[in-house]
């Protein structure tokens, strides 16, 4: 049986609930390995902007636009840019959680090596670790359209981007139901 959030998503045609579920249901595993040496899955790391300094990398400087409020937290997860990994439970490489700040936020997401990746962002506005379609927001790299037909899960071909051995920059715009 579908959850209330998914039913609301289908009825309202937004698909935001499925997009917001990214990262909300996966237990957190923290890795003691340095970000530059990470090559496995499920690493919770800190937002260390030094990893995006000139000469650093490989990493992605992510500018998140349109954060609705300064309540709760923002979670960003980077995935390999493959259909086998994109938005699959537990298949994220690195996760950063930081306190939300209204408007624009910037974080630095290290990646294991140059290659193709995709990023999903979630704003858990009330900080309850659940998807609340009436409050929470979400977004993905390349800002794909979210609609009833893809239920908030656009294919990796719409979200992936290339990262070189240096620092790449992307901008992601948050989407909210209300």
Q: Measure CA of the first residue to CA of the last residue in the chain; give whole Å.
A: 25
Q: How far is CA 64 from CA 83, 132, 146, 175, in A?
A: 24, 20, 17, 11
At residue 21, the pLDDT reads 44
Every domain of the chain and the residues it spans = 4-176
Phi, psi (5° rounding) for residue 107? -140, 165
Kindly give, in sequence order, each residue whose CB lies less than 8 Å from that of residue 24, ignoring residues fewer than 6 positions away.
122, 124, 129, 130, 131
Mean pLDDT, consecutive 10-residue segments, the chain of 178 residues?
A: 35 38 37 46 97 97 98 98 96 98 98 97 94 88 78 88 98 90
């Amino acid at each position: 049986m579908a959850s209330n959030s998914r039913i609301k998503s289908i009825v309202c045609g937004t698909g935001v609930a499925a997009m917001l579920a990214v990262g909300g249901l996966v237990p957190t595993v923290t890795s003691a390995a340095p970000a530059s040496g990470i090559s496995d899955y499920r690493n919770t790391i800190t937002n260390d902007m030094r990893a995006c300094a000139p000469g650093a990398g490989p990493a992605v400087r992510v500018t998140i636009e349109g954060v609705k409020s300064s309540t709760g937290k923002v979670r960003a997860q980077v995935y390999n840019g493959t259909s086998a990994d994109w938005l699959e439970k537990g298949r994220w490489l690195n996760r950063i959680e930081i306190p939300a700040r209204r408007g624009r936020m910037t974080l630095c997401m290290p990646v294991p090596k140059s290659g193709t990746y995709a990023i999903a962002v979630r704003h858990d506005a009330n900080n309850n670790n659940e998807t609340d379609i009436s409050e929470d927001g979400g977004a993905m790299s390349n800002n794909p359209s979210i609609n009833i037909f893809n239920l908030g899960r656009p294919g990796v071909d719409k979200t992936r981007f290339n990262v070189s051995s240096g620092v790449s920059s992307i901008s992601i715009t948050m989407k909210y139901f209300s």
